[in-house]
Structure 1
Amino acid sequence: MNSERRYGTRILGVGDNDDSENEDPVVEIEKPNTTSDKPQSEDQSGRSPFQRDLDRIKYTKEFRRLKDVTQVARAGESYLYHDRLSHSLKVAQVGRRFAEYVIQQEEGTHTISRELDPDMIEAACMAHDLGHPPFGHLAESTLDKLLQEKTNPYRKENDLDPTLGELPENLDATDADNIDAYLQVNSDELAGIRFEGNAQSLRILTRLATHRDAYTGLALTVGVLLGVGKYPYGRGEWFNPDAHKSLDPWPDEPKSVEGFSKGKFGFYEDDENINKAVRYAAVEGDESISGRAAAAGIMDYADDLTYAIHDLTDFYMDGRLPLDRLLREAFAELDEKDQEGLEEADYEQAPRRELEELHRELEYDEEITTPTEVITSLATSAIITGENVSLLNPFDGTPQQRNELEAFTSFLIEYYLNRIYYDDESDHELVDTDDAYISLRFGEQECELYLSDRLEEQLSILQQITKYYVIRQPSLIAQQRGQQRVVRETFEALYDEASKDDLSWSAVPTPYRNWLETEHSHVGNLGNDAEKRARVVADFITSMTEPQVVALHKRLTGDNPGSLQNEIIR
């Protein structure tokens, strides 16, 4: 069975449900041709199913939109910064190279070639951030709060009837994550609806985006959809009741299942049938598969690696992150052998100051690694890749410094990509557990990717360095406060517009207006009108770029009505 046989099945989206007794959406599936053992190509150009998926994603407006969506700094502020589009392109490149490297090392291994098809990995990486709303994670959390305010019957902001029973006294109605965990154990349904960027990505790929071959969505293969599934579980399923001696009284700090992230989830409740269909099709009827696919693990690793390194270099170039000083301080930690070939005249020595700050402010397990060890490793890399070590000075944009920065970045990515080891019955031996490595572990039907504790801690520290020097800056925080206000006020205005009795007089445009007027497949199985309105408005906002949502906010609030001929959204 090659990769096309197992993962080439297409999810055609949500079709019409003719069963009046069953309100769940019908997920349409198109299985690949199984009459030949040759790899299947679906068109005259000879493209494989995954190559078609890759091309299909690239040509969507949902992918183009990412050009004007924030990565860290506001999209469009400077060419120095990555936006979501350039970030996604680099994640896709790193993910593909990782898959190609593994396949090259293990040529002919059936499981690897099936699970790590480079086209499949690249397509999943390309699509992984489609669900990010304008202004990124800030808007993600804001939309989540707004949806809960409108639809959670326990919230004071609405007049919905809490028919799910009383909450424990120590459980705050605004703590959506813990309410999800409680209701997951004690009720048949959850409180209202929520917003989550990863779940929104699946919703876009299988419901909201359009393609001529699909009922809804892009009609992608299950291999690519599994690769996008960073969190292969639903709301509240992160909670681990077995980790508590008693659930009476309800624990103040509920614990997660090992490997699950508190509060995160990969699909909405009304998309659960889509998630089941993807996993059912992937294993040809066997629903026992648990955990995320190896493709999703590689996508997640490529994502973490890309923004850990590129954010570091982005903000070194703009002067906000003192990488040069950190490297100079780290040289004091190197022995003479490591400093061989480096003259003190090449750089100004720096007393240990920034490293001490990082040790105080960052979260890390010192038994695994420390900020000093991570920065010292970067300093060693700078020596390896730079002839005159110009990275030990503030960035001034000289060709030499740009060349050394590119070499430095390339070296780090290659270093972290080539940390792969194998956990099977082959002759490969795992390195010492204190090292930083990636492990591919094989089962009968799948393989999974694991990161060593040291590798995870290194990437976490690199990401936290950017957060410490950049994300906590007052200028960025002030920008975010304004962006949060834009999202909240736009949502409130559109929600009111979506509540009108006659939607022909609503500011909500088509097709979103149509979804509210009929039992549309996009929202037909939501619980009540409040949930439908909230989900449609969230979908609408998520479809916009940052300039679009700012322009619409100004129009709705009267700050700047703009031109009648400018519809903003088409």
Structure 2
Amino acid sequence: MSDHEQRRVARRDGARAANDLTANPFRADRDRIVASPFFARLGGVTQVVSASGSGLLHNRLTHSLKVAQVARAIAERLAADPEAAPLIADLGGCDPDVVEAAALAHDLGHPPFGHLGEQVLDRLARHRFGLSDGFEGNAQSFRIITTTDTRGPSAAGLDLTAAVRAATLKYPWTRLSHPVPHPRDLADPPRGAAEPADSPGTGSSKFSAYVTELDDLAEARAVFDGLVEPWQQTVEASIMDNADDIAYAIHDLEDFHRIGVLQHAPVSAELGQWESDRREFARLDPSDLTAGRRPGQSLERLRRRLLARDSWIFDDDAFAAAVSRVRAELVDDLLSVPFDGSVDAEQAFGRFSSGWTARLVAGVHVIADPPTRSGHVLLGGGQWHEVQVLKFVHRRFVLLRPDLALHQRGQARLLTKLVEALEQWLADRYEADRLPRRLHDLVELARAEYTWLGDEHPGALVGATGDTPTGEAALLSLARGRAVIDFVASLTDGQAATLLEALSGRTGQFWSDAFVL
């Protein structure tokens, strides 16, 4: 058997439980993810803004289902392409079941209140608890499937195959230390690997594993040694990543048109003015472009950012064509008529969603030698520019709204106060024997992890300042911090709000009612 064939056999290894519904290990992985309580909780976790029970907005569960649908379609199309098959085999293979399972798992670690919650927990983890890893939704997802979920046969993670675990790794590195050399030090770092411009020394802005899961990261990636670079996604992870981008670019725009937030006039003015005056905009000094609020300036700033950051694929004519297509099909078609719940309005959504999804999926292809900012699977040039423009519309006309900022500041305060309250409970020696069992178990788990790291891999605990925590008290402090972050990250939006209310003494709920503890 060749080395390549041995790798393909090895990546199918995985512990199968007697109650798995299928003998196919990848299908069993998918079933375990769907049966996980962490998957079920995604129905109560914000995608962009809280749906507040309206049923009109996507949550993390419906988003994950759509990503899985798109990802499987891409995987099946590429697997059936005879021209792509030899290259895919050389890169480690592509199984639609692996891709679908990874897509279903990719957001398991998202905390309450979407990306806002992610930012708050990262700040608290690093500055309040001294966790150099901080918090990252992708790394939390990997921690869940390998460590904190207990539904697998070993009661530590879900016992998923190496293939599925590797396919969840969008950013197959830790924040600071692994692999060596770290991808943030490359001349042109992979997407997400660079440090935030405003936070030098803090490590990569995106990463898919904490140091507590270093062994799991290395094991999942070991079967791809020599097939892809240590910092590159597997083919299956790259498909999942593209599917996530496609689903996000389309369904969030639908959501905000449906509830009347995304308005025709401002979007039309921004795109139309840029199209009319693109050459004039291109001549503006950066200072002039930043000043003022003339329609078209924000889109020109996007054009310049893409040119500077992604010159490997950016093309001015393709960008202009993408703006024209988005204006015609999103602005002049879908947004031109306010959503009224009618059959015609729903059919317009269907045409927009299915048409754009089919177009973007059809543009996905595989290349042998991608630039560092892309995986081996990527969108065609035209479709790539279109996704950038669609995401721009979402960011410019939804995420940057002052009323959303007001809403999110309240959520940030809620999460901060909840973390503080749980930390105080942990430090109260008179209440040590009455901690929530889940929180107690997470402390003991993290204590064992940090003790082991301190003994076996002390370098993994070195923070951005170069300090290494030593001694039982320091490691216990890290363990408590990680446990609080794990606990809060596992709540739904509603559970987080209700738990803080109870800890504040303001709840009307009877103490013995079923709750998250």
TM-score, normalising length: structure 1: 0.70
Give the structure 2 partner of residue 412 of structure 1. 356
Instruction: Kindly provide the CA deviation profile for residues 402-434 of structure 1, in whole angstroms up to 9, marking residues without a partner as x.
Output: 21221121111110111134546xxxxxxxxxx
Q: Is residue 509 from structure 1 mapped to residue 436 from structure 2 by the alignment?
A: yes
Give the structure 1 partner of residue 242 of structure 2. 301
Which amino acid letter does the alignment assign opposite residue 80 of structure 2? Q
Unpaired segments ≥5 residues, structure 2: 177-181, 190-195, 277-292, 308-313, 454-468, 470-474
**Partner SS, residue 27 of structure 2:** helix
Give the structure 2 partner of residue 538 of structure 1. 485
Give matches, 1:399-438, under 5 Å. 399-423=343-367
Query: Which of residues 59, 83, 98 is equivalent to 1:83?
Result: 59
Which amino acid letter does the alignment assign opposite residue 59 of structure 2? D
Report the structure number with the largest CA radius of gyration.
1
Give the structure 1 partner of residue 184 of structure 2. 239
Superposed displacement of residue 44, structure 1: 8.5
Instruction: Kindly provide the CA deviation profile for residues 43-87 of structure 1, in whole angstroms up to 9, marking residues without a partner as x.
Output: 885541110001110011000000010111114353221100000
Give the structure 1 partner of residue 219 of structure 2. 277
Query: Which of residues 471, 480, 498 is equivalent to 2:426?
Result: 498
Give yes or no for contact 1:64–1:85 (8 Å, CA) kept in 2. Answer: yes
Query: Which of residues 316, 322, 329 is equivalent to 1:374?
Result: 322
Give yes or no for contact 2:235–2:377 (8 Å, CA) kept in 1. Answer: yes
**Partner SS, residue 560 of structure 1:** coil
Query: Which of residues 10, 13, 18 is equivalent to 1:9?
Result: 13
Superposed displacement of residue 90, structure 1: 0.1
Distance 1:492 1:398, change over 3 A: same
CA distance in 2, matches of 1:44, 1:483: 39
CA distance in 1, matches of 2:96, 2:324: 33
Superposed displacement of residue 522, structure 1: 5.3
Give yes or no for contact 1:147–1:535 (8 Å, CA) kept in 2. Answer: yes
* Number of positions where the alignment pairs a residue of Structure 1 with one of Structure 2: 452
Query: Which of residues 197, 206, 225 is equivalent to 2:146?
Result: 206
CA distance in 2, matches of 1:203, 1:293: 19
Which amino acid letter does the alignment assign opposite residue 70 of structure 2? V
Give the structure 2 partner of residue 216 of structure 1. 156
Which amino acid letter does the alignment assign opposite residue 65 of structure 1? R
Superposed displacement of residue 6, structure 1: 3.8
Give yes or no for contact 2:149–2:155 (8 Å, CA) kept in 1. Answer: no
Give matches, 1:99-178, under 5 Å. 99-106=75-82, 109=85, 112=88, 115-152=93-130
Instruction: Kindly provide the CA deviation profile for residues 119-140 of structure 1, in whole angstroms up to 9, marking residues without a partner as x.
Output: 1000000000011111111111
Distance 1:212 1:358, change over 3 A: closer
Superposed displacement of residue 115, structure 1: 2.1
**Partner SS, residue 377 of structure 2:** strand
CA distance in 2, matches of 1:122, 1:255: 36
**Partner SS, residue 525 of structure 1:** helix
Distance 1:421 1:295, change over 3 A: closer
CA distance in 2, matches of 1:302, 1:59: 22
Distance 1:421 1:390, change over 3 A: closer
Superposed displacement of residue 118, structure 1: 0.6
Query: Which of residues 196, 206, 216 is equivalent to 1:264?
Result: 206
CA distance in 2, matches of 1:231, 1:518: 25
Superposed displacement of residue 542, structure 1: 1.1
Give the structure 2 partner of residue 71 of structure 1. 47
Distance 1:215 1:280, change over 3 A: farther
TM-align CA RMSD:
3.8
Give yes or no for contact 1:391–1:401 (8 Å, CA) kept in 2. Answer: no
Give yes or no for contact 2:39–2:105 (8 Å, CA) kept in 1. Answer: yes
Give the structure 1 partner of residue 389 of structure 2. 461
**Partner SS, residue 310 of structure 1:** helix
Percentage of pairs with the same residue: 30
CA distance in 1, matches of 2:477, 2:449: 15
Instruction: Kindly provide the CA deviation profile for residues 474-503 of structure 1, in whole angstroms up to 9, marking residues without a partner as x.
Output: 222111111101100000110111123355
**Partner SS, residue 72 of structure 1:** coil
Superposed displacement of residue 232, structure 1: 0.5
CA distance in 1, matches of 2:125, 2:266: 44
